[in-house]
């Protein structure tokens, strides 16, 4: 979640680094720092808190002569968020400065070895261990480049790092393993960052670094190496077409709200060129030439996992393909039974989800074909999958994912239609209804969003005092119940649990009371009578109910939330923004920082 930027060029580096870090603020952070080379010396400035605190330390200093440097925003995971733990970190000699995202899993072992060699440590971070390990590598190998390779061979875990030294005053070194890092080529200047917006005002020419690669850059040149062998690697440049404005709030109070209201456009963009109403079919050229899976496993985390659960039912119904949906953090450690007849679909908004990537790699080792479904062109998922279908949702800035799930539902819907048509299992009348319905869906969502927000505001004010919520749904509404509960606890910090409605009576019903309300998805479908019966059980225990429902349904609850009815599974696309808006308005009413994750200053885990 931390932000990284490195620069070598002709501009004053420190103001540029601060500007780049500000464009990465959406990642969430609790301290910040910069390191730069000035008059042959390595300078370090760090501060606890937001970038404004770092800028106060910079004010009054003449930093205009420095044209090389690195900057970092840190989200505390190992060591409390105080200045001594902020990045960059120096080695004991003061000749190296390093910034780092990720986890060095064997940091304690390496730290003990360095302590025996006489090294001392001023922080609790694994990053300070890594920079001193590189310093030891310089003694062993005689150069920074070889030292980084030497050190990386001795650490386990994930990292994206950038390093500067007055011994090579115009140079930045950077490397990655299981943590995103991109290079940007300018004119008389070069960049490296954890995300493209950090340097987008200066260049649109980028190269995506792969795991196990190391880049050396200065103002006029750059070279990528295999970090293990130091053999040069040829890297193509990609031209980025979107601009910084697409990552701004556009007049909305929070990025999250903006992205909820972008969902009609997201659906339209995802459908563009893929739905041929005249021919009555879906076009997915990304999958041309591939047979439909015999067995499909969807691997994902969090919101993407919920999207996979929703899509699995459609794929099984329309394409008659057996589908399992697996949480990636569990899947990767299982004794898996996969072979060449299996297809694994990795679903990830960013394309950089570590557990999902590990699951992909396990599946590939066992002979399964691996497909990707993600949002970010050039991401690791997109590069490592055999084929990839992009969701085309655009940059998602808010920490709480919203439009990404909407786009994932759209692609999964199209996949079910595409494979159903390819197998001949999809009835013509279902295909026609499905295509016509999804084609008109963006207009329906756009028309309803203002009314949805108004109702969400009313309900948030009524329920803002509660400390727990139960979310219930059946069938394809069950994954939405899980997602609604996730969003509420993620941004409002109100405890919430999502359950399949029929499971409520197997234990959770004991919790029902007036101060523990239920949010139910009670849409018109074959399971509505069952849902209604479940809600009567809640009412028998004096539980209050918010019910997302359709006009004309016989449902007597405390707070009905009536939304228009569309065709079949497309109702999920109207239910989803209601769940998101309710969570958003609850959080906003309670004064939460909606776009940032909760401050975890008291947690102490490996960084």
Task: Determine the pLDDT at residue 599.
Answer: 41
| Strand extents, DSSP E, 171-221 | 172-177, 182-185, 190-193, 205-208, 213-217
- Angle of helix 478-492 relative to helix 572-589, nearest 10 degrees, comes to 20
* Alpha helices in 401-527, H assignment, sequence order: 403-423, 428-439, 441-463, 478-492
The H or E element spanning position 536 is: helix 528-539
Pairing between β-strand 222-226 and β-strand 281-282 as defined by DSSP bridges: unpaired
Q: Rounded distance, CA 596 to CA 594, Å?
A: 6
Nearest CA-CA partner of 257 in 248, 249, 246, 268: 249
**Strands in 75-197 per DSSP E:** 89-90, 97-104, 157-164, 172-177, 182-185, 190-193
Strand-pairing partners, residue 371, are 345, 387
Cα dihedral 500, 506, 511, 515 sign? positive
Q: Is 216 strand, coil or helix?
A: strand
| Spatial distance between the Cα atoms of 435 and 104, rounded to a whole number of angstroms | 48
- Strand bridging mode 157-164 / 97-104: antiparallel
For residue 559, give the H/E element and its range: strand 559-562
φ and ψ of 42, to 5 deg: -95, 120
pLDDT of residue 180: 85
Give the integer Cα–Cα distance in Å for 414 and 423.
14
**288 Cβ partners below 8 Å, 6+ apart?**
none
Q: Give residue 604's pLDDT.
A: 30
Residues 6+ apart with CB under 8 A from 309: 325, 478, 479, 482
- Interacting residues of 4 by C-beta distance below 8 A, sequence separation 6+: 24, 70, 71, 72, 99, 101, 160, 162, 174, 181, 192, 193, 194, 198
Q: Is 308 left (phi over 0), alpha (psi -120 to 50) or beta?
A: alpha
Alpha-carbon gap, residue 208 to 185, rounded angstroms: 11
Cα separation, 373 vs 411, in Å, equals: 8
Q: Nearest-CA neighbor of 378 among 401, 358, 350?
A: 350
Residue 95: helix, strand or coil by DSSP?
coil
Query: So which residues are the catalytic ones?
Result: 2, 602
Q: What is the pTM of this model?
A: 0.76
Report how far apart, in Å, the C-alpha atoms of 55 and of each of 4, 15, 63 are. 17, 9, 12
Pairing relationship of beta strands 468-473 and 518-522 according to DSSP bridges: parallel
Nearest in space to 256 (alpha carbons), one of 596, 517, 496, 598: 596
CA distance 472 to 401: 21
Q: Helix 126-141 crosses helix 107-116 at what angle (to 10 degrees)?
A: 50
Question: For the chain, which residues score pLDDT lower than 50?
Answer: 598-607
Listed residue (9, 396, 415) closest to 185, CA to CA: 9
Indicate the SS3 state at residue 139. helix
Number of H helices, E strands in the chain: 17, 27
Nearest to 159, CA basis, from 333, 49, 332, 4: 4
Q: Is residue 578 a contact partner of residue 561, using CB atoms and an 8 Å limit?
A: yes
Cβ atoms of residues 467 and 514 within 8 Å? no
Dihedral class, residue 547 (left if φ above 0, else alpha if ψ from -120 to 50, else beta): beta
The answer to whether residues 418 and 284 touch, using CB atoms and an 8 Å cutoff, is yes
CB of 501 closer than 8 Å to CB of 530: yes
Residue 102's SS3 state is strand
Bond into 88 cis (ω within 30): yes
Give the pLDDT confidence score for residue 340 in this predicted structure. Answer: 93
What is the pairing mode between strands 342-348 and 369-374?
parallel
Measured distance between the N- and C-terminal CA atoms of the chain, rounded to whole angstroms? 11
Are the C-beta atoms of residues 466 and 494 closer than 8 Å to each other?
A: yes
Q: How far apart are CA 199 and CA 263, in angstroms?
A: 27
> Of 561, 119, 571, whose CA–CA distance to 310 is shortest?
571
Nearest to 528 by CA among 473, 587, 591, 491: 473
- CA–CA dist 288, 56 (Å, integer): 56
Q: How far apart are alpha carbons 556 and 549 in whole angstroms?
A: 11
Neighbouring CB atoms inside 10 A of 105's CB total 13
Q: Are 19 and 74 in contact (CB under 8 A)?
A: no
């Amino acid at each position: 979640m931390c932000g990284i930027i490195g620069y070598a060029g002709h501009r004053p580096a420190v103001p540029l680094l601060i500007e780049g870090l500000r464009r990465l603020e959406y990642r969430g952070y609790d301290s910040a720092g910069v390191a730069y080379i000035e008059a042959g010396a390595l300078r370090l400035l760090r501060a606890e808190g937001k970038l404004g605190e770092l800028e106060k330390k910079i004010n009054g200093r003449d930093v205009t002569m420095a044209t090389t440097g690195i900057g970092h925003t840190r989200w505390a995971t190992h060591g409390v968020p105080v200045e001594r733990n902020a990045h960059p970190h120096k080695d004991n000699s003061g000749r190296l400065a390093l910034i780092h995202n990720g986890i060095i899993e064997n940091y304690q072992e390496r730290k003990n070895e360095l302590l025996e060699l006489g090294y001392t440590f001023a922080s609790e971070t694994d990053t300070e261990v890594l920079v001193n390990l590189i310093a030891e590598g310089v003694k062993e190998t005689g150069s920074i480049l070889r030292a980084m390779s030497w050190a990386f061979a001795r650490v386990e875990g994930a990292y994206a790092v950038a390093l500067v030294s007055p011994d090579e005053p115009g140079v930045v070194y950077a490397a990655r393993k299981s943590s995103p890092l991109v290079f940007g080529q300018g004119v008389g200047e070069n960049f490296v960052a954890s995300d493209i917006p950090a340097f987008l005002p200066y260049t649109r020419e980028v190269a995506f670094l792969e795991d196990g690669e190391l880049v050396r850059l200065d103002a006029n040149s750059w070279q990528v190496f295999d970090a293990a062998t130091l053999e040069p690697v040829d890297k193509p440049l990609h031209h980025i077409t979107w601009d910084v404005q697409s990552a701004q709030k556009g007049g909305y109070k929070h990025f999250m709200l903006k992205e909820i209201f972008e969902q009609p456009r997201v659906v339209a963009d995802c459908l563009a060129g893929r739905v041929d109403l005249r021919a009555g079919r879906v076009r997915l050229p990304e999958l041309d030439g591939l047979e439909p899976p015999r067995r499909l496993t969807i691997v994902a985390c969090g919101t993407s996992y919920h999207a996979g659960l929703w899509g699995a039912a459609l794929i099984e119904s329309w394409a008659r393909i057996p589908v399992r949906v697996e949480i990636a953090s569990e899947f990767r450690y299982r004794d898996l039974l996969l072979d060449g007849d299996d297809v694994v679909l990795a679903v990830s908004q960013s394309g950089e989800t570590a557990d999902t990537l590990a699951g992909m790699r396990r599946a590939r080792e066992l002979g399964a074909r691996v497909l990707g479904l993600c949002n970010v062109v050039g991401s690791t998922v997109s590069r490592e999958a055999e084929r990839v279908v992009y969701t085309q949702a655009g940059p998602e800035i808010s920490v709480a994912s919203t439009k990404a799930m909407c786009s994932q539902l759209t692609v999964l819907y199209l996949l079910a239609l595409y494979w159903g048509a390819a197998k001949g299992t999809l009835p013509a009348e279902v295909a026609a209804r499905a295509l016509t319905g999804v084609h008109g869906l963006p207009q329906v969502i756009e028309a309803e969003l203002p009314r949805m927000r108004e109702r969400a505001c009313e309900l948030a004010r009524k329920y803002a005092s509660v400390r727990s919520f139960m979310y219930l749904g059946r069938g394809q509404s069950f994954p939405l119940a899980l997602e609604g509960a996730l969003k509420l606890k993620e941004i409002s910090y109100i405890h919430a649990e999502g359950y399949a409605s029929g499971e409520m009576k197997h234990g959770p019903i004991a919790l029902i009371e007036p101060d523990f309300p239920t949010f139910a998805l009670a849409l018109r479908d074959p399971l509505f009578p069952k849902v209604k019966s479940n809600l009567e059980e809640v009412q028998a225990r004096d539980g209050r109910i918010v019910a997302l429902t359709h006009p004309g349904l016989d449902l007597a609850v405390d707070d009905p939330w009536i939304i228009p009815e569309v065709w079949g599974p497309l109702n999920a696309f109207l239910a989803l923004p209601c769940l998101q808006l309710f969570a958003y308005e609850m959080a906003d009413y309670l004064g939460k920082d909606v776009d940032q994750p909760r401050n975890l200053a008291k947690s102490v885990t490996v960084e």
